[in-house]
Structures are given as C-alpha cells and as structure tokens.
Amino acid sequence: MAYIWISAGVAKLNDHMAVTQTIAAYEIFTPQWADYLARLIGPLEIAGGVLLLLGIFLRGSSKVAAVVLVLFMIGIAQAWARGLAIDCGCFNVDVNLDEQAMDYLKTILRDVGYLALTIWTIKRPFKKFALYP
C-alpha cells in the first residue's frame, strides 16, 4: 500500500491545473476548495505512503488511509450515479478522456481491494520492523 499511495501522490505533484480540474469535475467542491485540495492531496498521499513504508505509526496511518479510501470510493460512486464522465485522477491525471475511458465499477472494486489490504495492515500482528503500533 505504501507504493500505491506514493505513486498516486507523485502523479499529482507535477500538474496542479489538471488535478484541480479533476477534483472540480466531481462537482462536489467549489473551485476554491478544488484548488486547495489539489495543492494538498499529492503531498499528503506521499507522506502517508512514506509512513506506511517505514512502519511509523502503522496502525494510525493505516486508519487514515482507510478513511481516505472510503471517501474516494464515495466520490467515485456519486459521480457514477450522477452520470458524470470523469477521470478519477487516481494515478494519472488526464482531464481529456472520453466517456468510455472511466470504468467506475473497476475503479471501485480496485479501491475495495486496497481497502482490504489496508484493513489487514490495521488488524494484523505487528512485526519487529513496525516502529509504532
């Protein structure tokens, strides 16, 4: 999961405008909030991934990751239910996709798999390399 979070965060660092447009496409946030979130989300994903990678605050960072994954799934599900044709903006940010490019069910199922891995990290017995439970 550390790799997933770090790679998702790195993909968002270099193209602030596209990330802002992707967040705005969900039609949940105002343009100002979309801009604010676009500035925060990449570095926060990288920070969370580094914490997971190093085993620092493993349970706490995994709990935060689980909440974020659930929020991402809710956002994708509401966009799907409302018929929005968007790119989720998860690992590559491309605001110029056609309607067939986004497979909402596949994306949600992928996130359910990530959530299962995250829950496993929260519940599993800790090994000697986890610095803090």
Residues of the chain with pLDDT > 70, as a percent, come to 86
Whether residue 34 is contained in a domain is answered as: yes
Residue 59, domain extent: 2-123
In a domain, 130, yes or no: no
What is the number of domains present in the chain?
A: 1
Residue with tokens 């809710």: 74
Is 132 within the bounds of a domain?
Answer: no
> What's the average model confidence in pLDDT over 8-37?
91
In a domain, 133, yes or no: no
Q: Examine residue 72 and state whether it is found in any structural domain, yes or no.
A: yes
**Per-residue pLDDT tens digits for 95-126:** 555 555 678 999 999 999 999 999 998 888 66
